[in-house]
A and B are shown apart, each in its own frame.
Chain A
Amino acid sequence: MERNMSLEKVKMPELDPKVRATNFEEVALGYTPEMAQEESNRCLECKNKPCVSGCPVQVNIPEFIHEIKEGNFMAAYQKITETNGLPAVCGRVCPQESQCEKYCVRGKKGEPVGIGRLERFAADFAMSQGALGAKNIAPKKGKKVAVIGSGPAGLTCASDLAKKGYDVTVFEAFHTAGGVLKYGIPQFRLPKEIVDLEINVLKEMGVEIKLDMVIGKILTIDELKEMGYEAIFIGSGAGLPSFMNIPGENLNDVYSANEFLTRINLMHAYQYPSYDTPIKPYQSVAVIGGGNVAMDAARCAKRLGAGHVYIVYRRSEAEMPARLEEVHHAKEEGIDFRLLEAPTEILGDEHGNVVGMKDVRMELGEPDASGRRRPVVIEGSEYTLPVDAVIVAIGQSPNPMIKNSTPDLKTQPWGGIITNEETGETSIPGVYAGGDAVTGAATVILAMGAGKTAANSIDGYLSK
């Protein structure tokens, strides 16, 4: 096929914003084989592959795209799974604009190659053909490794170790595996069936997943060692929600984004009463924060029928940590962005139900320690936003349960596990950690990169 010199990516079909804002179906529909081949012909197959350097798990990008060009879609999938255990997930939720696609040569003039869309296409194609499991699993080594947490870091670490021939057991606190892929990211962005298919790939490879196991409570790190696990990877994430400590925060109808999203995504509260977990219907909802979690919560609230959904963010749009695509989707669905505003108080009625939220307007001052311009309150700008629910999405920190039951494990004052960045090793020999448990809330793909690094280090440690 001819090289495609269009400055724009091949458009991906999406559900109409008016329709999709009333259901939980996946918004982005994915490429057809024709679209995928057309887009793959935009790739120049550069010799120095700058795109690969932007990928935390170093997917062989030009190689897999080449296979798509040739129409060898299964071969493309196999190429990706050499380094990436969750391609259908990554193709959907990675912030490609700040990773692989950021370095794409085609992006210098026009849009970069749609690498994420092509990765997604290859993974979805392979799954539709029933192809499961990475090839090339090394002979069994007869050594046991325990992985704590089945989120992106744990799953990637487990996948890589299984490929290297280790007997891997994953311990998950919830009743289902997947971590944030299950409880955090909504169905309309990442269908749960896709996550389950990718987890089935791991099971096919021999990884055992033990559910309902809260490590730190039912078993400690020391007990795992006594049970014969020669190395341990902690990928327990950053699940402890932060609150703002403003008046009214413990009123009814005030949620952490974690609670709101867990009820909806993990417990299917949007299908109440077919499912038993309830969520109350609201008319007007304020979501505090500007990250992906805030976008997800706002878009869920809209889908539950709220007429007005506000994103209240104290900086401007340029500073928003959320993915561009998600901000764009949220706007299309009618989410009202209240930028440079911050809540000071949540107001309740005599029953303790939310009736409004006091906001102040802000302006940007001098850059702060993070390099971002610090928001400063504009005097006398206070007004009341009429809402009947508030969702707090201002960040999470690592859950203290493992730290509290493991005195030797060194952690940061804010709870992050201290590791050697190069290897993922913690203060305890043979115990490794990675993902949000180390960095605080970050991205899926960074967690996967950390899981991969730790798997390599564990292999080195156990091969000594």
Chain B
Amino acid sequence: MFKILKKETLANGITKMVIDAPLIAKKAQSGQFLVLRTHDKGERFPLTIADFDREAGTVTIIFAQVGRSTQQLGSLPEGGEILDVVGPLGVASHFDPSIKKAAVIGGGLGCAIALPQAKHLKQMGVSVDMIAGFKTKDIIILEKEMTEASDNLIITTDDGTFGIHGFVTDALKKQIEDGVKYDIVVAIGPIPMMKFVSKLTREYGIKTIVSMNPVMIDGTGMCGGCRLTVGGETKFACIDGPDFDGHEVDFDAAMRRLSMYDGMKEREEDCRLIQMADKAEDK
């Protein structure tokens, strides 16, 4: 059991939790993730490590309450306990020490995961521009933290209610055309956003790292549920990633696999699995 030391709402439906996990905190590095399970009948699901404090022995997660499991997690109180927290998993991000200038791009909740990457690059002495994209003003998160972690924070909103009106790709394109020379772009967010950032940077020949978020079960390489096509080869995001070269990833295939279990709820009425489950419950 892992104690929730602090719980905070960052925006509507977006929650931050600081978890007591000294052994994980000791090893965690930016780019790595955790697999969690909230109760006995719960599923295992991955969340990226948003921050860690080795001395305090804590790791931080930031998540949107979008489905059954994230809602269950979000319903746990401060001082409560999470049943299972496994990690740190995945390969830590590795950046070339010769990098001078980076653009770290976060899309929505992806900003929470982009933030430790920006911090990591700053610590390496890299000059960091952060571009953070949100649908609208009300769901902007981590503005203060991103300002601190970057030399220049550009916020975009799809509806123009705050910052630049448009997508992160519009802001990135403008930076590049204004003459800013990026050695690397790190893009973290929904798959379409990472896809279009990668498409743009390919035109300019800028190396681009994306953090993939496929369906996972164990998170330790034993099932291949999280497999992706990268550079024409099959990779397991949990042990080969989650960071990959954005110019190599087959985003359309990744998107397709991510939608595999959509509609399971609608099927519940006539699904045989459900009937069997009900039978098992009756016993």
Contacts and interface: CB of A to CB of B under 8 A. Distances in A.
The secondary-structure label for the interface of chain B is: mixed
Given A217-B27, A252-B256, A275-B43, 13 more contacts: A214-B87, A243-B224, A250-B229, A250-B234, A252-B257, A256-B225, A258-B222, A259-B225, A262-B223, A269-B273, A274-B41, A277-B43, A399-B220
Interface in A252-276: 252-253, 255-256, 258-259, 262-263, 267-276
Interface string A163-175: 0000000000111
10 contacts: A173-B86, A217-B87, A240-B222, A241-B223, A271-B280, A274-B277, A275-B277, A276-B43, A281-B267, A401-B221
B225 to A, nearest CB: 5
Contacts of B42: 275-276
A304 interface: yes
A411 interface: no
Contacts of A304: 272-273
A239 interface: yes
Nearest to B273: A272
Interface string B240-283: 00000000000001001101110010011001111011111100
Which 5 A-B residue pairings sit nearest by Cβ, starting from the closest?
Answer: A239-B222, A259-B223, A352-B256, A305-B272, A276-B43
A249 interface: yes
Tier of interface size on chain A: 35 or more
A277 B277 contact: no
B24 A218 contact: yes
A278 interface: yes
A364 B253 CA distance: 37
Contacts of B37: 175
B69 interface: yes
A275 B220 CA distance: 21
A401 B218 CA distance: 13
B68 interface: yes
Interface of B: 23-24, 27, 37, 41-44, 68-69, 83-89, 217-218, 220-225, 227-229, 234, 239, 253, 256-257, 259-261, 264, 267-268, 271-274, 276-281
B41 A268 contact: yes
A269 B273 CA distance: 8
A212 interface: yes
A347 B44 CA distance: 30
B265 to A, nearest CB: 8
Interface string A211-233: 11010011100000000000000
A109 interface: no
Given A23-B276, A273-B277, A399 B227 contact: no
B44 to A, nearest CB: 7
A259 B44 CA distance: 13
Nearest to B276: A270
A271 B276 contact: yes
Contact of A175 (B83, B234, B274, B281): B83
Given A217-B89, A268-B41, A280 B264 contact: yes
A400 B68 CA distance: 32
